[in-house]
Structure 1
Amino acid sequence: MAIASAEKCCIRYHIGEGMMRNRVLVTAGGSGIGLAIVDSFLASGASVHLCDVDADAVARAVATRPVTASVTDVSDSIQIADLAAHALSALGGIDTVVNNAGIGGARCPIEALSDEDWDRTLRTNLSSMFYVVRAFAPAMKAQRSGAIINISTTSVKTGLPERTPYVVAKAGVEALTSNLARELGPFNIRCNSLRPGSIENERGRALLAARAEREGLTYDAALAQRLAFISMRTKIDPSEIGDAAVFLASHAARHISGQCLSVCGNAEWE
């Protein structure tokens, strides 16, 4: 289902040999980090198409922002084909893809993981990014330009016990990023990944509160423990992830590819 807004913004910037609009797709763009990424691109003047599995979140985004949107379950490759058709039509092409969709997955010891838990997390967090890139790469190749930004996690660096499917999927995201950078580079298509740190938003606070409850801590004590393992002793505002994505999609980053950029204050452990 595609939902169109009355008006769209656009920016012209240098990609390859010509001046082009930055036409952006953001997956899971209806809330959280995804919506912050949408807002950062809109502030830069880009045209944005977002998708989200949550129809209510999509409706709210379209009602309050100059975007077009689709209700899409990115773990379903058939729905991704529909998304590509809707987004390419709405935007008139594609310059930047931000693969943001993901789930936390099961929290349990490895021996307690079910096949379903494993498969669902890898399908949503990793296979979805493959589906999206496969769908949009032909348009980028045809114009010989594009930027792909895949959202990973600092947990790939630190490890995270009892979250094996999540960490493995995100490690796969970084491998996908590296290989796509090499494969698509000759077409002037760049691919990078972002590792968000401990995010200061509703979901981040809920995760910390759940940890505090599990470990018999107060929220403030759990927060202090978390910050003790971040070198800069800070949580990350979602807008910082959006700003980093805008940079990686910009002319300033025109020769940055195959890289993983952490926006985390240097997460040492978790």
Structure 2
Amino acid sequence: MDLGLKGHRVIVTAGASGIGRAIADAFRSEGAVVTVCDVDEAALATVEGMAAAKVDVADRDAVAAFMAQSIEAMGGLDCLVNNAGIAGPTGGVEDIAPDGWDDTLAVCLTSQFNTTRCAVDALKASGNASILNLSSLAGRVGFAMRSPYAAAKWGVIGFTKSLALELGPHGIRANAILPGLVAGDRQRRVLEAKSQRLGQTFEETEAQAFSHVSIKEYVTPQQIADQCLFLASYRGRTTSGQAISICGDTQKLA
């Protein structure tokens, strides 16, 4: 299916590996012009066919410079994918260090403000503009022992819905993507941390997590990328302000 994304100008944060890389590669496979940023130099070294830069998305000045340079190099912007995020600390709220809270919100939530504020003028000039913000199922159901992460991801949904209302009259749509249990090293690290906290095996923690999922398999990064392609394409032109779960019908994050 031709989604009409050839020449589409896209920026993906944290796009050198994991979900971000899958999204960036998917856009590139459709003929889009893609620029990614990341903090992982080793992952950035593996990026081919796309412009790539080392950027800490929590650094507002660095983000502003990156966005300006990228938009100028691509001759505009059609889609901003705010994918950057960190897992944050695992533990009871009384045990979480304030720095852990601050860092999680800075990367998972404030970074999306940092990029979006720099993208709006360029997006207004696009004939098919969209913002895709990665949230999480934790932003819909909460997540015990992961309060900084859940708080940030709930914030992403509020930010997204506000953008949809504010920018819709300018032809810019905004949607949030809420992955559930995603295959990959990051999800494994989260489950391992929780296993250690609870004093149980990884397999027990994994089984507990899937006990609340109707489709008992991990979501793949490619499935998330496929949803992003549709939302960024003209076929998704009337979808905005939505929090779209890609989670196998997860009712609770255990």
**Fold in common (TM above 0.5):** yes
Residues 190-205 of structure 1 aligned to structure 2 (within 5 Å): 190-205=173-188
1:28 matched to 2:28: no
Aligned equivalent of 2:4: 13
Aligned residue pairs, count: 252
Q: Mark the CA change 1:111 to 1:206 in structure 2 (over 3 Å): closer, same or farther.
A: closer
CA-to-partner distance for each residue in 1:158-212, whole Å, 9 max, x for gaps? Answer: 2111211111111111000000001000110000000011011122223223333
Matched, 1:206 2:197: no
RMSD: 1.8
TM norm structure 1: 0.88
Report what 1:148 is aligned to: 131
- Taking the TM superposition and a 5 Å limit, the aligned residue runs for 1:71-220 are 71-143=54-126, 145-220=128-203
Instruction: Identify the residue that residue 223 of structure 1 maps to in structure 2.
Output: 206
Contact 2:15–2:21 under 8 Å retained in 1: yes
Q: Per the alignment, in what secondary structure is the counterpart of residue 21 of structure 1? A: coil
- Quote the residue 1:38 is aligned against: 24
* Shift in CA distance, 103/67, structure 1 to aligned 2, threshold 3 Å: same
Q: Is the 8 A contact 2:12 2:36 kept in 1?
A: yes
Q: For 2:70 and 2:91, locate their aligned partners in 1 and report how far apart those are by CA, in whole Å.
A: 37
Correspondence 1:47 to 2:20? no
Alignment check: 8 A CA contact 2:164 2:174 kept = yes
Identity of aligned residues (%): 39
- In structure 2, what residue type is equivalent to 1:252? R
1:12 positional shift:
8.4
> Are 1:70 and 1:86, in contact at CA under 8 Å, matched by a contact in 2?
no
Q: What SS does the corresponding residue of 1:102 show, helix, strand or coil? A: coil
Offset, 1:41: 1.1
Residue by residue over 1:9-57, the C-alpha shift from the partner in whole angstroms, topping out at 9 and shown as x without a partner, is xx9838xxxxx73111000011111111112112222111000011221
The answer on whether the counterparts of 1:12 and 1:21 sit within 8 Å (CA) in structure 2 is no
Quote the Cα distance in structure 1 between the aligned partners of 2:26 and 2:58.
25
Question: How many angstroms does 1:145 deviate by?
Answer: 4.1
In the other structure, the counterpart of 1:3 is none
Over 3 Å counting, the alpha-carbon distance change for 1:212 and 1:118 in structure 2 is closer
Q: Structure 1, residues 227-267: CA drift from partner, whole Å, max 9, x if none?
A: 22111112101111111111110111011000011011011
Structure 1: distance between partners of 2:196 and 2:40: 28
Paired letter, 1:176 = F
Which residue of structure 2 lines up, in the alignment, with residue 249 of structure 1? 232
* 1:105 match: secondary structure: coil
245-254 or 203-212, larger mean C-alpha shift: 203-212
Cα deviation 1:100-142 (Å, max 9, x = unaligned): 0011112222223333222221111111101100001011123
- Distance (Å, rounded) in 2 between the aligned partners of 1:219 and 1:113: 22
Q: 2:248 aligns to what?
A: 265
**Secondary structure class of the residue paired with 2:125:** helix
The normalised TM-score by structure 2 is 0.93
Q: Is the 8 A contact 1:125 1:170 kept in 2?
A: yes
